[in-house]
Structure 1
Amino acid sequence: MKKNFLKKVICTLLIAFVTLTSTSFITKAATNVGSYNAGIGIKNWPVQVNAPYVDMVGWVTKNGYYMGNDGGGPANLKKLSDETGIKYFNLAFIQSTGSVTNGKINWGWGGYSVLSEGKNDSQYNGIKQSLKDLRAIGGDAAISFGGAGGTAFWQTSQDVNVLYNTYLDIVNGYALTRIDLDVEGGAQNKQSNIANAKAVKMLQDTTGVEVTLTVPVLPSGLTQTQIDLLDAYLSNNVTLKYINIMAMCYGSGTLLPGENYGAASIRAIDSTKNQIKEAYQKFANTTLSDSEAYSKIGATVSVGYESSSDPIFTPAWSQLVVDHAKSKNIGMTSYWSLNRDSQIENNQGITSQYEHSKIFSKFGSPAIPSDNTAPVISGVTDKQINIGATFSPLAGVTASDKEDGDLTNKIIVTGLVDTSKAGIYNVNYTVSDSKGLSTTVSSKITVIDSSIQTYSPNKVYVAGDIVLYNGVMYKAKWWTQGETPGAAQWDPWEKIN
């Protein structure tokens, strides 16, 4: 699927290894607390869902439909949801910015480094706020990786650990419970996707995140290229929530006599159903019934005008697709894009606001209700230990749940405590109950070098001197005397983490 460019440019399974000097852990959690201030993802999406794509990189200027106060910004998901009744979306696209740093791929929305975490950019902050506002009213969104333009993660690196670490940061940061892999064009290389599949499998083992695989399709079904993609992911034990077919841009040569794009999309759904059954039998040793195969299908059309090579996709054709989706009980309907259909983006094929959304919003089932309570973790405290001491992260820590009882043996720990090196380390504890609700708490472990001097306001310090002040270690950046660590405007001290 295509994206609009900026108008404004502006862990493997739990690993625990203990040596004489260090301990490290990797977690498994179903729902994350999130560190990007974008709200918390919903664990239980509807069994059948309509989730249109929203281009979060598109620069929206229509009054009231953008996040920000400077005349434009990313789409306002809450307003779009309020006006359409649609609660779930696929947000496009996070892409690689083309390099790897500290074992992770550098990324940004639309491939723009400014639209990434750590950058104080109003458009990026607007994207996060838009998602947070949607979640506050009971909605949620998957984030889509890849797309027709730009560079997918698995094109930048085929290092499984690099891919895994990158996904993990984003899934945890945005507190995602679902992601979408939009695999198009050159990103369909099988070997690159095998590496990506291995990383995604690790990600699912670690976080429980659901994964949709979005691929091109013809009315006759998937080509060998897409079958190879199913091989890459299914053979590596990735659990695919949906195989989402891009039912669009077929070309006149692929149509049957008298067939329009709406009818062609129906044929693509039915053709893909048969191929999914074959693929699961061959690559996952799993036998699916027709109904089970249909339930794994997502169908995404391109509403309105897509290109001069394709006809305008009409509301009548959308109705055909939705009616067929209902009759076959497929898993997801979607369309590219809500930006067009809401008229926050110019498109000559859309004649009235939400003309397709009114049709697609009739598809889907209610979210799964739950009165389940989250588990409780006890005994997690901040600690100070000396260099060389033994650190046992689970000592004295317990977990319990109102419905499930004792969950202590299900606590997963993430973090690194290097007891050979003075510093401050964060350790996270996560536990999930049988319904998928999770709780995460954190502790700060300070490893102290007993030979380090305590800060004195009367002593002269030079660059490189290390002191301990209020349990925190600091290193002098230049000559200083009488300047309390962490207090001066131009602080001569830096924390040692």
Structure 2
Amino acid sequence: MSKRFPGRHVSPLRLTVLIVVIGGLVFAGFQGWRWFADNQGEQRSPWFAAYVDVTATPFYAFEQPRGEADRDVVLSFIVADPADPCAPSWGGAYSLDDAEATLDLDRRIARVHKQGGEVLVSFGGLLNDELAVSCADGSKLVDAYASVLDRYDLAAIDLDIEGDALTNTASIERRADAIAELQQTRAEAGTPVDVWLTLPVTPDGLTPDGTDFVASMLSAGVDVAGLNIMTMDYGSSKPEQQSMGDAAVDALDATHRQLGILYDRNDTPLTDATLWSKLGVTPMIGQNDVVDEVFTLEDAATVNAFVLQENVGRTSMWSLNRDVTCGPNYYDLERVSDSCSGVDQGDQTFAGVLGEGLDGRPLNAVGATTAPESLPPVTTDDPATSPYPIWNEDTSYREGTKVVWRQNVYEAKWWTKGDVPDNPVLQEFETPWTLIGPVLPGETPIPVPTVPPGTYPEWQGDTVYNQGDRVLFDGLPYEAKWWTQGDSPRESEVDPDSSPWAAIDAADVVVAE
């Protein structure tokens, strides 16, 4: 195994980040510097390791890396043996002993280690039962996981939980308890093990089942090394015109926010930098299972640039088996192949593009514990340096309205009043606000048309209004489309077609006056 802490140097990227950070600290003042200086821990260096489908034919020679990006691998998948629910197997086809005899797997893994490569093993996947799904005996389940760790001398594992396993409550509880016990036992013995969770996502982040799964692992006491999201096979959740690279970036942004909330709820607040280091991204290269979804080399470059920008902890891909242009005899490129990508790669590899600049290693921080961190002080918004009005709980905001809250700009997705823009909800559909981005240095207020009080009479429920009458409701102007009495203008924001009221743009009122 290679050294965990190779000689370090200051790369141009790191130097740039350092300059930006220092500049921001100077701008924020001495107190910001004190907070920064007091809260810098050892961060994991971002790393790349691609998945290898061990049982797919033709068998992939992962022990013969084509380049540095192929050096570290995530071997998949360990699942329950169909004939013995508490026995681990490779893909349900090979017991561990069968894999040694038929695939020469043990010797090939040893060769990877001898060459300085690092190996993780992934449990689960979509097509077979992960051990906790089939094995109802908690003690035997712990032994099953441990047998794989011991067999292949592993210091890190990956739990790929998807499909029905993500809604199987009993198995989720069994798995969480077993992994927590395994981690504790290994840590006490001086052989700690990192545990990565790999889950499906949409461009809006984890599904409710996904966030529930992470919460169950944290609640059971599992020290999660990181959360790896499968940025693939989105289906209808991805806008038709959105590229696969941009969808992956959106998914990372959304999951970063969700992960912070999950740790907050577990009484373990973490800084943004730490949360990024605990995130991973795994695209399916080339043709995805969804016909219209193709992850190109350009998409790979987009993901890589974002990973470097935010210091995302892990990058993987599915899979090394597929990282090659399909041959001339493979005629239907829309049909997913186990052994080629379905796109013309020229002389490039997806591993090379996705792994560019990622100089960390999967095991470079095994055993590091996750501890609560001091978060930066909450800043006070200043109207003189805010591009939009500062959010107020007593003000009504119509769809499309932008506000500033805690040095960030938010936009209303629908009519809202009293909903805090940064309310820590896990799913985007639970909040009426979309985060646009931070307030930038040097910004000043952008003129926003408003309707002064008294411009129109306040709406009254017992007053009769005729077509063309105008009123104010919660400070917003409305015009009657036909005769009405008792119909609140608020309903026009929810169902504009059937409401007798039409919202008026404040700018139009100013022009009219």
TM-score, normalised to structure 1, is 0.58
Amino acid at match of 1:129: R
Distance change in 2, residues 1:56/1:191 (3 Å): same
- Structure 2 Cα separation of the partners of residues 285 and 120 of structure 1: 43
Residues 1:307 and 2:289 aligned together:
yes
Q: Which runs of 5+ in 1 are unaligned?
A: 1-39, 61-73, 371-497
CA contact (8 A) 1:340 1:350 kept: no
Partner SS, residue 79 of structure 1: coil
Q: Greater RCO between the two (CA within 8 Å, min separation 6)? A: 1
Partner SS, residue 346 of structure 1: coil
Q: Deviations over 1:53-91 (max 9, x none)?
A: 11111122xxxxxxxxxxxxx3222322x4344321111
Residues 1:196 and 2:181 aligned together:
no
Query: In the TM superposition, what is the alpha-carbon distance from 1:236 to its structure 2 partner?
Result: 0.5
Distance change in 2, residues 1:306/1:368 (3 Å): closer
Residues 1:240 and 2:219 aligned together:
no
Amino acid at match of 1:272: T
- Structure 2 Cα separation of the partners of residues 55 and 339 of structure 1: 7
Q: Match for residue 371 of structure 2? A: none
1:49 to 47, 50, 73: 47
Q: Match for residue 220 of structure 1? A: 204
Query: In the TM superposition, what is the alpha-carbon distance from 1:44 to its structure 2 partner?
Result: 7.4
- Structure 1 Cα separation of the partners of residues 52 and 132 of structure 2: 23
Query: In the TM superposition, what is the alpha-carbon distance from 1:267 to its structure 2 partner?
Result: 0.3
Q: Match for residue 79 of structure 1? A: 64
Amino acid at match of 2:237: T
Q: Match for residue 248 of structure 2? A: 265
Query: In the TM superposition, what is the alpha-carbon distance from 1:362 to its structure 2 partner?
Result: 1.0
Query: In the TM superposition, what is the alpha-carbon distance from 1:99 to its structure 2 partner?
Result: 4.7
CA contact (8 A) 2:324 2:340 kept: no
Amino acid at match of 2:135: S
2:340 to 340, 346, 365: 346
Amino acid at match of 1:331: G
Q: Match for residue 91 of structure 2? A: 110
Query: In the TM superposition, what is the alpha-carbon distance from 1:122 to its structure 2 partner?
Result: 4.1
Query: In the TM superposition, what is the alpha-carbon distance from 1:360 to its structure 2 partner?
Result: 1.5
Distance change in 2, residues 1:42/1:118 (3 Å): farther
Distance change in 2, residues 1:317/1:347 (3 Å): closer
2:309 to 321, 324, 327: 327
- Structure 2 Cα separation of the partners of residues 223 and 261 of structure 1: 18
Distance change in 2, residues 1:149/1:305 (3 Å): same
- Structure 2 Cα separation of the partners of residues 44 and 181 of structure 1: 26
Partner SS, residue 196 of structure 1: helix
1:279 to 238, 262, 279: 262
- Structure 2 Cα separation of the partners of residues 362 and 239 of structure 1: 29
Residues 1:185 and 2:163 aligned together:
yes
Query: In the TM superposition, what is the alpha-carbon distance from 1:94 to its structure 2 partner?
Result: 1.0
- Structure 1 Cα separation of the partners of residues 140 and 95 of structure 2: 17
Partner SS, residue 292 of structure 2: coil
CA contact (8 A) 2:280 2:312 kept: yes
What CA RMSD, in Å, does the superposition of the two structures yield over aligned residues?
2.5
CA contact (8 A) 2:72 2:118 kept: yes
Distance change in 2, residues 1:281/1:50 (3 Å): same
Partner SS, residue 111 of structure 1: coil
Counterparts in 2 of 1:2-13, with a 5 A limit? none
CA contact (8 A) 1:42 1:177 kept: no
- Structure 2 Cα separation of the partners of residues 280 and 328 of structure 1: 19
Distance change in 2, residues 1:98/1:83 (3 Å): same
Query: In the TM superposition, what is the alpha-carbon distance from 1:345 to its structure 2 partner?
Result: 1.0
Distance change in 2, residues 1:44/1:185 (3 Å): farther
Q: Match for residue 174 of structure 1? A: 152
- Structure 1 Cα separation of the partners of residues 224 and 357 of structure 2: 21
Q: Deviations over 1:281-333 (max 9, x none)?
A: 11x21001111111110000000112253322100001101100111111100
Q: Deviations over 1:234-290 (max 9, x none)?
A: 000101111000011112x323473211101100000000000000111x2100111
Partner SS, residue 242 of structure 2: coil
Q: Deviations over 1:442-488 (max 9, x none)?
A: xxxxxxxxxxxxxxxxxxxxxxxxxxxxxxxxxxxxxxxxxxxxxxx
Partner SS, residue 310 of structure 1: coil
Q: Match for residue 237 of structure 2? A: 254
Query: In the TM superposition, what is the alpha-carbon distance from 1:201 to its structure 2 partner?
Result: 0.8
| Equivalent residue pairs, number | 309
Partner SS, residue 193 of structure 1: helix
CA contact (8 A) 1:53 1:335 kept: yes
- Structure 2 Cα separation of the partners of residues 243 and 225 of structure 1: 14
Q: Deviations over 1:7-50 (max 9, x none)?
A: xxxxxxxxxxxxxxxxxxxxxxxxxxxxxxxxx79877963210
- Structure 2 Cα separation of the partners of residues 43 and 179 of structure 1: 17
Q: Percent identity among equivalent residues? A: 28
Q: Which runs of 5+ in 2 are unaligned?
A: 7-43, 187-191, 326-337, 365-513
Distance change in 2, residues 1:42/1:266 (3 Å): same
Counterparts in 2 of 1:35-46, with a 5 A limit? none
- Structure 2 Cα separation of the partners of residues 287 and 120 of structure 1: 43
Partner SS, residue 206 of structure 2: coil
CA contact (8 A) 2:197 2:228 kept: yes
- Structure 2 Cα separation of the partners of residues 227 and 98 of structure 1: 29
Partner SS, residue 64 of structure 2: helix
Q: Match for residue 393 of structure 1? A: none
Between structures 1 and 2, the one with greater strand share: 1
